[in-house]
Structure formats: structure tokens, C-alpha cells
A and B are shown apart, each in its own frame.
Chain A
Amino acid sequence: MSKKNNEEKYIRSFNALHLSGDFQANLDKRLEEEREGRKMNLGTIGNIRRIAAGIAVFAVTMGSFGVCYASDFGGLRTNLKLWLGGEEKEVTVVQSGDYSYDVIDEDGNVSGFGGLTADGNGGQTAMSAEQLAALQNNACMLKPENGRYILYYKNISADVTDQIKNGKLNIHITDPNNEYTYFRISEINGESFVCEAGRKADWGVDYIEIDSSSLTDDGASFETDCSDDVSFTTSVISD
């Protein structure tokens, strides 16, 4: 009884101590600096942002560059299937730079993607169109439509506007064809967002479960030789 009484008095006394009102803001600033410091500061190539070795980087430029024909593009071409806006489309992918590709769909709409991945020797190497397509087919895309935010994942779409808090959204989608199904979306601003995907839930994070019952079976599976500690990042940077 005495120990309990002493304990209660001690707790009550030291409960008077609190962090100052500025603490969270100062911490956020330092965390942001840490994140920036983690990225290899090599500038940008078009709209692709490079991130430190060990993390696969994937960037998609949203928005149309106009209607063109695939034949208008020079360079090596690959035909692939890509999930775009909830539809699986046949696209032609043409290399447009060291790390980037133009993506032309059947209707002539043009977008782009590109990225780097760890080469296993501490360096980075450009991802192939097939790797990027597999990545995109297993990633979430967020699109503003008529004042609402629609999440697209393969053939699933969901209005997630009311779930977005402080520009962030954490979701989990059950997909037996995809290892990376825990998505953390942040920096949501118009058509721009950052999406990180992981194999497991991050500690202390609540994920919204997205109904995956309508998922089709023939989703592309994403194979990687990345370690468990590696996550990949999808960056969408609007023009």
C-alpha cells in the first residue's frame, strides 16, 4: 500500500511536466531536414526525383502532353499493359532519357514515368520499362476529380476524400499478387502526392482498409530482390 501511495504521489507530481507548444513544430522541421538529407541531392531530371540508393524510385508525370501517335516518338519502344485511371490499357513506352520514358495510350494521351533502383553494388541503375510498369501496376494513384480525391489501384477505385487528414492517407489493400500493399500517401496537393509502399504495416500507423473484393485476378505481380527493409516510392509531381 505504501509503495502504491508513494507511486501515486510521484506520478501526480511529475505529471506537471509537459513539452512546450513549439516542440512538435521544431521536431517536424528536423525530421523534414533528415528526409531531405537522405535524398541524394543530385537535382531533378525533368520531373523525376532521385532518392538515396537502396530505394527504388518511380515518378509519374501526370497530365497530358497532348494527343500524339506512338509513331511520332523516336527511340526504343515497348508495348505493355498499364493500369491507368482504373482501366487496364495497352500502351507504348518509348525511352525519352537516361531514366525516363514516354507512355502513349491507345487514345494518344501521353504521360511519362521513370526511375532508379539499387544495383546491388551501392550504386543506382535505371529501371526498365517493364520494371516501371510492374511498379505502377502495383501502386496507388490518387487523382482529383470534380473536387473529390479518387484512389486508383488496378481496377479498384475509391473516393478517399474524407479519409485524407492533413494531406496524408494510409491505406491497405489485400492483393495476393502484390507484396507491397501498405501504402502511405502524403504531401497531397492537387495532382501532386508522394506514395510509399511497404510489405508490412508501419508501427503506430492506422491504415484504412480498401475493399479489394472487386480486384481482378490478372494483376501483374511485382518481383524484386530488394531486402525487407526497402520500400519504394512513387512520386507524382505536377507540372
Chain B
Amino acid sequence: MHLDFEEITKKYGNRLYAAAFNVCRQNQDAEDAVQDALIALYRSDAEYMSEEHMKAWLLRVTINNAKSIRRSFWNRNKTSYEEYMDSLTFEDESDKSLMDEVLRLPEKMRIVVHLHYYEGYRIEEIAQMLELSGNTVKTRLFNARKILKSRLEGWEDE
């Protein structure tokens, strides 16, 4: 099946990138993870039941790619996290603090937090996507919220 990759990139590219960056915290690695996911989609020739199905597939593959990149020992001249964060434009200083604190969380917690708050997935959906039990996802989310509440002034109790 042939997909319009320009359209897909326009529609989902930044969201996939945000998920990848959440995992690997490095802009070039995150872009590689997204690119690899889109190439995997091209190769897959899969038929998708719905747009939601394809989006979920892309997110899952992107996250897995980002995890693999983090585990590799490939060294290259990359932009540092601090340099990259300084280059971003935030609406408010508190937005930068929030991102910093989320990205300080352990990787296992940050992915769950991102899928929940940014992508709007429910616990069961996150569990399915990450192949975890619902209880594991619930626990990670609960612990992440506790940490964010303790570190971020604006983070509210839920």
C-alpha cells in the first residue's frame, strides 16, 4: 500500500519527534528514530484499519527505535541537551521547567507520562502499546505524578 509520506510527516512528524525526544533526549537521535519508523511503515505494506491504528503503530515503533538508539554505543558529534533546550522557544519559562523535570524522570516513567498527557491515551491503551500490564502503567504514572508534584510548582494533584 502506498502512503503519502509528506502528508503523514506533516500530520504526525512533530508528535512522533516529541515522543522520541522524550525517550532519548537528543534531537538528532530523536529524528533518526522518527525517520526509521516512517521507513518501517513504508516497508511494512500493512493495511491499517483506521488512522488511529496507524498513529499508534508509528508511536510504538518510534519509541522502540528511540530506546534502541539510547542503548547503542554510537558516538558522534551531537548537539548537547543543554544547547538544544536553549534553542527551543517556549511560551513561558514554566513550560521549559516542566519539560526539564519530565525529562529528568526515569525513562520508564517518562514514556508513560508522555503517552498519557501528550497523546491522551488511557492506562489500558498505554499498557497495550508498551506491552505492559495495566497495573505497571498505573504504578509508573502514579509515581511520576508524585515526583512532578514535588518538583514543579504548577503541577496539580489529580
Interface residues, chain A, CB within 8 Å of chain B? 2-3, 5-7, 9-20, 23-24, 26-28, 30-31, 34, 184, 196, 198, 202-205, 229, 231
Residues of A contacting B14 in the complex (Cβ-Cβ under 8 angstroms): 15, 17-19
Does chain A have a CB within 8 A of B136? no
The secondary structure that dominates the B interface is helix
Interface residues, chain B, CB within 8 Å of chain A? 1-9, 11, 13-14, 17-18, 21-22, 27, 31, 34-35, 38-39, 42-43, 45, 48, 51, 54, 88-92, 94-96, 98-99, 102, 113-114, 117-118, 120, 154-158
* Pair B48/A203 contact, Cβ less than 8 Å: yes
Within the assembled complex, what's the spacing in Å between the Cα atoms of A9 and B51? Answer: 26
* Pair A14/B156 contact, Cβ less than 8 Å: no
Within the assembled complex, what's the spacing in Å between the Cα atoms of A120 and B13? Answer: 38
* Pair B5/A27 contact, Cβ less than 8 Å: yes
Nearest residue in B to A26 (C-beta to C-beta)? B35
15 interchain pairs, CB-CB under 8 A: A2-B158, A6-B156, A9-B98, A13-B98, A14-B99, A15-B14, A16-B90, A19-B31, A23-B9, A27-B38, A31-B42, A184-B2, A202-B2, A205-B3, A205-B7
Residues of A contacting B102 in the complex (Cβ-Cβ under 8 angstroms): 10, 13
Residues of B contacting A9 in the complex (Cβ-Cβ under 8 angstroms): 94-95, 98, 154-155
Within the assembled complex, what's the spacing in Å between the Cα atoms of A12 and B95? Answer: 7
Number of interchain pairs (Cβ within 8 Å): 107
Within the assembled complex, what's the spacing in Å between the Cα atoms of A27 and B34? Answer: 10
Residues of B contacting A3 in the complex (Cβ-Cβ under 8 angstroms): 158
* Pair B90/A13 contact, Cβ less than 8 Å: yes
Within the assembled complex, what's the spacing in Å between the Cα atoms of A184 and B7? Answer: 15
Residues of A contacting B99 in the complex (Cβ-Cβ under 8 angstroms): 13-14, 16
Would you give the shortest CB distance from B104 to chain A, in whole angstroms? 13
* Pair B118/A11 contact, Cβ less than 8 Å: yes
**Which of B1, B98, B120 is close to A203, meaning CB atoms less than 8 Å apart?**
B1
Within the assembled complex, what's the spacing in Å between the Cα atoms of A17 and B22? Answer: 10
Closest 7 CB pairs of A and B: A2-B156, A10-B117, A13-B95, A13-B98, A17-B18, A204-B4, A16-B88
